[in-house]
């Protein structure tokens, strides 16, 4: 007996409406018992919008908060390494080891909550095919004077 409700097909009108509603609501807030620092919030928003809103569980959101904190720490550690360098007085900078550990932790959490590239974008082959199509479109557009180039609107 299946305990979870049947999911709506992703190519249905109901799924399209749910997606628009999710976007209108904005990123999910963290659970009340989870504290995020000010610098964690941009990472939190990126993480929780990587998956459909209705697929997040409370447990996933706790891990997402850990990932957001970890990614903010990675940025802090990277800035420290950028300032101090890889070596301090001829010895390895301790921040480098911490940066590597934090990066490994972030990758593990990313896989655990399924916000890695394979989970959100698709298989490597599909990504490579899409990239090849974009490269070809750029080359075709550059070779054709009748097709106007892309202009960024500021």
Residue 57 pLDDT greater than 80, yes or no: yes
The verdict on residue 150 lying in a domain is: no
pLDDT at position 52: 84
37: in domain: yes
Residue 141 CA to its chain's centroid (Å): 30
Q: Exposed, middle or buried: residue 47 (CB in 10 Å: 0-12, 13-18, 19+)? A: buried
Q: Which residue has the higher pLDDT, 146 or 90?
A: 90
Query: Average pLDDT, stretch 128-146?
Result: 65
Which residues, at least 6 apart from 118, have a Cβ–Cβ distance to it below 8 Å?
124
Amino acid 54: pLDDT = 84
Report the pLDDT value the prediction gives residue 128, as an integer from 0 to 100: 62
Give me the number of domains the chain comprises: 1
What 3-state DSSP class applies to 90?
A: coil
Domain for residue 15, yes or no? no
pTM confidence score: 0.72
Residue 17 lies in a domain: no
Query: What is the rounded distance in angstroms from the CA atom of residue 132 to the CA atom of residue 1?
Result: 44
Whether 42 maps to a domain, the answer reads yes
The answer to whether residue 14 is domain-embedded is no
For residue 85, being part of any structural domain is answered with yes
Q: What range defines the domain where residue 138 resides?
A: 29-143
Share of the chain above pLDDT 90, in %: 50
Residue 143 to residues 126, 137, 139, 152, 154: CA-CA distances in angstroms? 26, 10, 6, 20, 26
User: For residue range 16-51, what is the model confidence (pLDDT) as tens digits?
Assistant: 666 677 777 788 999 999 999 999 999 999 999 888
pLDDT in tens, 85-124: 999 999 999 999 999 999 999 999 999 998 876 656 666 6
């Amino acid at each position: 007996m299946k305990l979870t409700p049947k999911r709506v097909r992703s190519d249905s009108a109901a799924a399209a409406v749910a997606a628009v509603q999710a976007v209108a609501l904005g990123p999910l807030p963290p659970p009340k018992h989870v504290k995020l620092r000010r610098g964690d919030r941009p990472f939190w928003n990126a993480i929780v919008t990587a998956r459909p809103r209705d697929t997040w569980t409370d447990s996933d959101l706790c891990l997402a908060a850990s990932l957001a904190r970890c990614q903010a720490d990675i940025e802090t550690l990277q800035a420290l390494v950028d300032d101090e360098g890889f070596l301090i007085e001829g010895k390895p900078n301790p921040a480098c080891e911490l940066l590597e550990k934090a990066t490994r932790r972030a990758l593990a959490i990313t896989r655990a909550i399924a916000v890695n590239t394979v989970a959100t974008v698709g298989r490597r082959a599909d990504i490579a095919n899409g990239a090849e199509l974009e490269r070809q479109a750029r080359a075709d557009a550059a070779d054709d004077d009748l097709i106007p180039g892309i202009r960024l609107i500021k």
